[in-house]
Structure 1
Amino acid sequence: MPIASAATTVLLALVLLGSSAAKLTRAKAIVEGMTAAGVPLGMLPFLAACEIAGALGLLAGLVYGPLGVAAAGGVVLYFVGAVGAHLRVRDFKGLPPALALLLFAAAVLTLRVLSL
């Protein structure tokens, strides 16, 4: 279980860092998705900072387990918000990536809790 927990944690951290980079560079797909979900583009730096903090917390949690659990919980909440934002405006095109990341973050959280 610890190997699966560590591997999924690192993978989720890399996904979060890639997503934050796309937000900070205002990648076309990100801007279109955020606009469709009704998120103001001025929120992109804040959302990127949240993802970076989540990634760093996940990685630090490999050394201190409770921090990893807290970070994984925060990432789950972040993606609950993302799913909610897409559902609020009935943006079903942008929903699958947010939902997939929510499920992945929930799996990481579960593995982190089980590996304590």
Structure 2
Amino acid sequence: MYIAAVILSILLALLSLAAGAPKAQLKGDVPDGLVAKGLSSAQVRLIGLAEIAAAAGLVAGIWWQPLGIAAAVGMAVLLLAAIGYHVKWGDYGDTATRGAAMAPVLFVLVAVAAAATLAASR
């Protein structure tokens, strides 16, 4: 079970870092799109920093499972908020935006699996 926990933690950490870095730096299309849909630059940067912190917590959680579990649960909460944001903007009903809006749905499943495997490997 520990190997699965390590693989899921690293996978989620890489995904979280890749999603969080552009938001924290406010560079790229994603931060611009979030600002265009009503979030402030500070909110976008805070989301990016939270994603980067989750990535760090997931990696550290490989050696200290309570931190990894907390990071995975925090990431799941953040992703549930992202799903709510996409629902609010109708992204799941629009074929042009549905693909990008599905990423948080997939990632929340990975976050839950990472938390569960980390908890089971204690």
TM-score range, shorter chain: 0.7 to 0.9
CA contact (8 A) 2:57 2:71 kept: yes
More divergent stretch after superposition (70-79 vs 42-51)? 42-51
Counterpart among 79, 95, 99 of residue 101 in structure 2:
95
SS in 2 for 1:72: helix
CA 1:41–1:91: 2 relative to 1, 3 Å: farther
Q: CA RMSD in A?
A: 1.7
Deviation at 1:104, TM superposition (A): 1.4
Q: Distance in 1 between matches of 2:114 and 2:19?
A: 17
| Residue of structure 2 in register with 1:110 after alignment | 116
Tell whether 2:79 aligns with 1:73.
no
Distance 1:36 1:87, change over 3 A: farther
Superposition TM-score, scaled by structure 1 size? 0.87
Residue segments in structure 1 that go unaligned for 5+ positions in a row: none
Give, in whole Å, the separation in 2 of the partners of 1:83 and 1:59. 24
Listed as ranges, the matches of 1:13-92 within 5 Å are: 13-23=13-23, 24-32=25-33, 34-35=34-35, 38-92=38-92
Cα distance in 2, alignment partners of residues 57 and 5 from structure 1: 13
Choose 50-59 or 14-23, whichever is displaced more: 14-23
Alignment partner, residue 5 of structure 2: 5
Give the letter aligned to residue 82 of structure 1. Answer: A
Identity between Structure 1 and Structure 2 (%) = 30
Q: Residues 105, 113 of structure 1: CA spacing in aligned structure 2 closer, same or farther, 3 A cutoff?
A: same
Structure 2 residue runs of 5 or longer lacking an equivalent are none
Deviations 1:67-99 (A, max 9, x none): 111111101101011001111221222421111
